[in-house]
Amino acid sequence: MKNLAIALSALTLILSACNDNTTGPASKSGLFKGPAKPLGNGTATPWVRLNDAGDPTSYGVTLSDGALENLPTADDHGEGHDHALAVTLPMPPQAAGTNIDHISLDWNPNGHEPAVLYGAPHFDVHFYMISEAQQAAIPGGVDMAPVDAKYIAPDYWSPDPTSVPMMGRHWVDSTSHEFRGEAFDRTFIYGTSAGKMVFLEPMITLAYLKSKPSNAAQTVKMPSAYPVSGKFYPSKYTVNYDPSTKETEVRMENLVRK
């Protein structure tokens, strides 16, 4: 009996040790969503995806079935960037590592200036790195504040120093296809205000979104630095239509800690 008791005690210790060795930190991975907002006949939902360590691997906005239908047609007659609808989408708290506070999904039924380039109906998908209150305080008018070269991505320039109210000054890729005689369908823009980078912006036509692209990816040219270091910034963005859910996703991915 004594030997049996010793054996059972040893077995208990072994099993306990095994359990201790296999118990690690809980995974922080998952898909985390912010509140859905109405858009057209559907909804728009912001989200972020985290890996096991809790670092963001992608983030974006999902447009449900019907979101691209029954959109308003009248502009608000803003200064140069008329839009008929602006949907603000707060990011979930799990998105803190992206440095993105909220998304402003702006619908431009008649495009905006310069019309020769961007006159097609399209969405401005602004990913803001500032709060909603800070965004609302961005003034219109000429913004000649210098921007440090380390915050300017390769090939990007800002031909117009005008600051759009509640947006800022826009910087475009001078090598993008719309500057090479091709029709604009989508492009990627950076935004600054008073010399500081404040937003990232895929700009995508309604026609392109309705074409139901399948994991259509484009490289994002990255500057050498961002306004907040230690965060994760996109080096690619993708537009994807999922026929199983009938959802369209604008996804920022291949995130790099800068």
- What is the b/e burial string over 120-138, where b = at least 16 CB atoms within 10 angstroms of the residue's CB? bebbbbbbbbbeeeebeeb
Q: Which two tokens stand for residue 77?
A: 């007659």
Instruction: Quote the pLDDT of residue 83.
Output: 72
Mean pLDDT taken over the chain: 90
- Look at 11 and 146; give whichever has higher pLDDT: 146
- Look at 6 and 66; give whichever has higher pLDDT: 66
Q: Which two tokens stand for residue 70?
A: 């029954």
Query: What does pTM read for this prediction?
Result: 0.88
Average pLDDT (177-199) is 97
Distance between CA 194 and CA 233 in Å, rounded? 21
What pLDDT digit, counting tens, does each position of 17-66 carry?
Answer: 444 444 567 889 999 999 999 999 999 999 999 999 999 999 999 999 99
What pLDDT digit, counting tens, does each position of 73-119 carry?
Answer: 976 444 445 678 999 999 999 999 999 999 999 999 999 989 999 99
